[in-house]
Amino acid sequence: MSIGTRMTNSSESKWRTEVEASFVKAWPVFITACLFNIVFTLRHMLMDPVLRSFIKCDEAGGEIFSGSSFCGDKKYVVQSAVRQSAMLSATEGIMSMFVVPVIGAVSDRHGRLPALRTSILATFLFLLLNLVSQDVIALRFLAFACSSASAAFFPTFHAILGDCGGNRSVSFTVKIIFANAGQLIGWIVGVAILRQEFVDYTFMWVALLTIFSFGSVVACRIEESRPVGLNPASSSPNVFAALYFAIQNPFLLRWCIAKFLALFGLSVMSLLKSFVLSAYDWRQGTLEGAMGVFFMISATSTLAGPWFVDRYSVETVVERCTLMGAISLSMLLFAPLGSLFCAFAAFLQAAGACTIAASSALLAERFTEDQGKAQSVVVAIAGGASNLGSLLYSSLYDAKAEGVSQAQPFAVAMVMGWAAYCTLLSALESPSPSPMPGRQVAIQVEETRLFQPDDPKSVVMGRRHSFDLEEGGLL
């Protein structure tokens, strides 16, 4: 057997061992992520059709399906639903910028499970309110306000995996694979529903509530990975402390700005579903059906993520994927010329899917003691940027426009994409954050207490030392 073959077999064996170890430690997280992503995927795919079904106008329905039984003007229905969806998403995004950092700080200070349960309750209320809201727009806004806390699922799950230790890149990748499996299932079901061209989606909300309930039951099996009191130096769980935490660190500040710009630009992709309906006269569900290739590319990129990180570095992977995102947004400028440009842009973004695990691993490495806070601040800012971007692009979008004027939203997105790339380069040049002195002492005290349990004197001294430091304001 050649040396190269032995190295390959050894690498495969190591990969298999790390995956198995990760699954044994965190299988409830992976299963929950899969079930929840079925719900989230269907929600995002079908929300615009749900909103279109309630649009009203004076024009009666014709032979062409407009999406609404109350209006026959397809372009009017599409544009009205886009703007209504953007307003709802902006409400969710603005709320999440305040709610998610608090949940992240709570998870660092009081444990991961309280944060997880808060997100579960908020998402359940979102689904329930959408079920009963019908065309009452006030209830929809309330539902999206509740949904702002659901953005905390991502940082909470990743903080739990980061707490488990081991190869974090592998753990994050396995979680994303399960999440992608949920997205794939949701996509298959969503495309089938869209092709039926329904105008009543009550059954969908009932199904989503059922699936989410199953996922919540599995989530009850997730064990606490961050016992209360493990990080006494963590700041109080409020949004101002979380934002100050981001501002005082040069790397995290630039990273957040880069993510804000990137997601602000990439949020224009949500416009494509409506753009192709009006610009190319596609049927509802056609673009979503083509997204099967998107999922395949995304899954391949995700699987290759740990290899890319080992082969190059986590910083290189993040930088290259951000560059690909900027290029894809530039390609959308030519979307009015043909649908191929939309497809190429989407596929190029899918090829950069490995950046999700790489970005999470980078934050976990740089903020070991404040993972929940760091991850949640970034997610909150990115989520807010995405929804605010959707609001801007919906105002720039004109379903009845022709030619170059159709590309207005894409031009803004391109500028945001390249600004994000330049800011990210600046962030990656920043040095890694160093632990606070008080936190280093706290860790040493904790180690004294944990690794010398048979010596009562050392335990007492360790506790007394911690008490003195806390009284002195160092912790």
User: DSSP string of 442-466?
Assistant: HHHHHHHHHH-TT-HHHHHHHHHHH
Note the Cα 434 to chain centre separation in Å.
Answer: 27
Q: Where are the domains of the chain?
A: 15-434, 439-471
Tell me the C-alpha distance between 195 and 285, whole Å: 6
Residue 26, CB-side half-sphere exposure with 13 Å CA sphere: 31
Which burial class, exposed, middle or buried, applies to 405 when counting CB atoms under 10 A from its CB (0-12, 13-18, 19+)? exposed
Contact between 439 and 233 (Cβ < 8 Å): yes
Residue 424, CB-side half-sphere exposure with 13 Å CA sphere: 27
What is the model's pLDDT at position 473?
Answer: 28
Element (H, E) at 82: helix 74-110
Tell me the C-alpha distance between 127 and 214, whole Å: 14
Phi and psi, residue 357, nearest 5°: -65, -40
**Would you report the helix, strand and coil content of the chain in percent, each value rounded to 5?**
80, 0, 20
Q: Which residues of 425-460 are buried (b: 16+ CB within 10 A; e: fewer)?
A: eebbeeeebeeeebbebbbebbebbeeeeeeeeeee
Query: Tokens 């910083």 correspond to what residue?
Result: 315
- List the structure tokens of 137: 């727009």
Phi and psi, residue 70, nearest 5°: -110, 0
Contact between 359 and 299 (Cβ < 8 Å): no
CATH of 15-434, one of 1.10.10.10, 1.20.1250.20, 1.10.1060.10, 3.90.1490.10: 1.20.1250.20
What is the model's pLDDT at position 420?
Answer: 92
* Complete DSSP assignment for 165-217: -S-HHHHHHHHHHHHHHHHHHHHHHHHHHHHHT-S--HHHHHHHHHHHHHHHH
**For every one of its 475 residues, what pLDDT tens digit does the chain have, with 9 covering 90 and above?**
555 555 455 656 776 787 787 788 888 999 999 999 999 999 888 888 888 888 888 776 666 777 787 887 877 888 888 888 888 888 887 888 788 878 877 777 778 888 888 889 999 999 999 988 877 888 889 998 888 888 778 778 878 887 777 677 778 888 888 888 898 899 889 888 888 877 788 888 999 999 999 999 999 988 887 765 555 444 455 556 666 776 777 888 888 889 899 988 888 887 777 777 777 767 666 666 777 777 788 878 887 887 888 888 888 888 998 999 999 999 888 888 888 888 888 888 888 888 877 887 888 777 777 666 777 778 777 777 887 887 888 888 777 777 777 788 889 999 999 999 999 998 888 766 554 444 444 434 333 333 334 443 333 333 223 323 222 222 2
Contact between 143 and 133 (Cβ < 8 Å): yes
- List the structure tokens of 338: 């043909």
Tell me the C-alpha distance between 420 and 263, whole Å: 9
Counting runs of H as helices and runs of E as strands, what totals does the chain give? 18, 0
What is the model's pLDDT at position 229?
Answer: 53
What is the model's pLDDT at position 443?
Answer: 38
What is the model's pLDDT at position 451?
Answer: 36
- List the structure tokens of 78: 């599409």
- List the structure tokens of 377: 């601040």
What is the model's pLDDT at position 61?
Answer: 61
Q: Is 366 helix (H, G, I), strand (E, B) or coil?
A: helix
Q: What is the pTM of this model?
A: 0.66
Tell me the C-alpha distance between 277 and 438, whole Å: 57
What is the model's pLDDT at position 445?
Answer: 39
The Cα-based distances of 131 to 46, 214, 379 in angstroms read 13, 18, 27
List the Cα angle 12/14/18 in 5-degree steps. Answer: 115
